[in-house]
Amino acid sequence: MAFIRNAWYLACWSSDIQPGAMFKRRLLDEPIVFYRKTDGTPAALLDRCPHRFVPLSMGVLKQDNIRCQYHGLTFDCTGKCVDNPHGDGKIPAAAKVRSYPLAESQGMVWIWMGTGEADRAKLPNYDALQQREGFSTSHGYLNIEANYELMGENLLDLSHITYLHDGFLGSPEQRGADQTLEEKDGTLICKRWMPNISVPRIFDMVYRRDGKPVDMWTHMTWIPPSNFLLDTGVHEVGGQREDRGWYYGVHILTPETEKTTHYHFAAVMPPGTQLDEAQASEFSRLRRMAFEDQDKPFLDAQQAAIGDQDFWAMKPVLLTVDAGPVRMRRQIERLIKEEAL
């Protein structure tokens, strides 16, 4: 399967790569090993020794280098072989592995999977995750057994919360909500506006609305290839956005294989929210439950049903709520085609 390659993908949360340990993950169907150099900066190499192809992650970290544990070749963080313990010690020209440019910021490690220049200016904007006075952040991870575009559709078309997350993130009056789609600098913003609805449980719990009706919004932004940022909240019917009552939902997908996806999510609560520790952990627990116990089984089953068939060849029914997902799919196709030129 073709992926967009000249783009930054989220490799993992910073906390996944601990000093002195190797962390392996398959991204865009390539096995990759991550580690931290002695100065703390992360490094990434193709997780395959060029000698007999065993994973380097089964080897040993030697300061800034990895020594393959099978026959002892040692590679530095650029993938160059720096020690061959055999014969006269000459390093064969082919003894090198691919290394990947990384960028670490705001608790995330981004990886450049393409051959084009890894331009930091192209990092997706997640200023929402910046450590700021009074903001609180929590994050999590799930492995989804479905293609990242299927998962992307789930995020861009939030009409499903009325059904799949009913009474929890959704409520029945959200049916047929106004939905608009904007395109800005290559990003898509899908906005839903749901006035005068019964308050979904998660908002009632976190923002103590006493079960009173609310106006609710969800603004989901898609940044290619597979990065999402949700601005969502509630306020009193006919009211205005307040200091509390909303949060940012960060949803970042990275293809693992054609049919599996790394799903990174985070929530950023503004200073006005003022949750105590128990409420904050209940909020995180409920969100994770929605993704893990409600979204994931549907996504996994959807992929199983599609199998190896081509999505468009299956002639999916198109509804008004599909405007965003279809536009996203078309843009991904276009970007892949442009890269192939």
- 13 sits near ligand FES (criterion: CB under 6 A): no
Contact residues toward Fe ion (CB under 5 A) are 295
- 122 sits near ligand FES (criterion: CB under 6 A): no
Positions 191 through 220 that interact with ligand FES (CB under 6 A): none
- 46 sits near ligand FES (criterion: CB under 6 A): no
Residue 49 binds which of Fe ion, ligand FES, none (CB < 5-8 A, kind-dependent): ligand FES
| Distance, CA of 130 to CA of 132 (rounded, Å) | 6
- 91 sits near ligand FES (criterion: CB under 6 A): no
- 49 sits near ligand FES (criterion: CB under 6 A): yes
Between 71 and 120, CB nearer to ligand FES: 71
Between 66 and 223, CB nearer to ligand FES: 66
| Distance, CA of 264 to CA of 253 (rounded, Å) | 6
- Least Å distance, CB 65 to ligand FES, is 13
Between 73 and 214, CB nearer to ligand FES: 73
- Least Å distance, CB 34 to ligand FES, is 18
| Distance, CA of 112 to CA of 11 (rounded, Å) | 9
- 132 sits near ligand FES (criterion: CB under 6 A): no
Between 153 and 215, CB nearer to Fe ion: 153
- Least Å distance, CB 84 to ligand FES, is 9
Half-sphere exposure of 182 (CA within 13 A, CB side): 8
- Least Å distance, CB 73 to ligand FES, is 4
How many residues touch ligand FES under the rule CB under 6 A: the total is: 9
> Which one among 71, 120, 330, 334 touches ligand FES, defined by CB under 6 A?
71
Residues in the chain: 341
- 96 sits near ligand FES (criterion: CB under 6 A): no
Positions 50 through 69 that interact with ligand FES (CB under 6 A): 51-52, 54, 68
> Which one among 26, 37, 70, 80 touches ligand FES, defined by CB under 6 A?
70
- 73 sits near ligand FES (criterion: CB under 6 A): yes
Distances (CA, A) of 65 to 94, 116, 185: 18, 25, 40
CB-neighbour burial class of residue 278 (10 A; exposed 0-12, middle 13-18, buried 19+): exposed
The Cα angle at residue 306 between residues 313 and 190, in degrees rounded to 5: 80
Residue type at 247 in one-letter notation = Y
| Distance, CA of 248 to CA of 336 (rounded, Å) | 29
193, 177 Cβ separation under 8 angstroms: yes
| Distance, CA of 84 to CA of 75 (rounded, Å) | 9
| Distance, CA of 312 to CA of 116 (rounded, Å) | 30
Residue 52 binds which of Fe ion, ligand FES, none (CB < 5-8 A, kind-dependent): ligand FES
| Distance, CA of 51 to CA of 58 (rounded, Å) | 14
| Distance, CA of 247 to CA of 20 (rounded, Å) | 35
Residue type at 275 in one-letter notation = L
- Least Å distance, CB 152 to Fe ion, is 12
CB-neighbour burial class of residue 338 (10 A; exposed 0-12, middle 13-18, buried 19+): exposed
**Cβ of 206: how many Cβ atoms within 10 Å?**
22
Q: Which stretch in 6-14, 48-56, 177-185, 235-243 sits in contact with ligand FES by CB under 6 A? A: 48-56
Binding site for ligand FES (CB under 6 A): 49, 51-52, 54, 68, 70-73
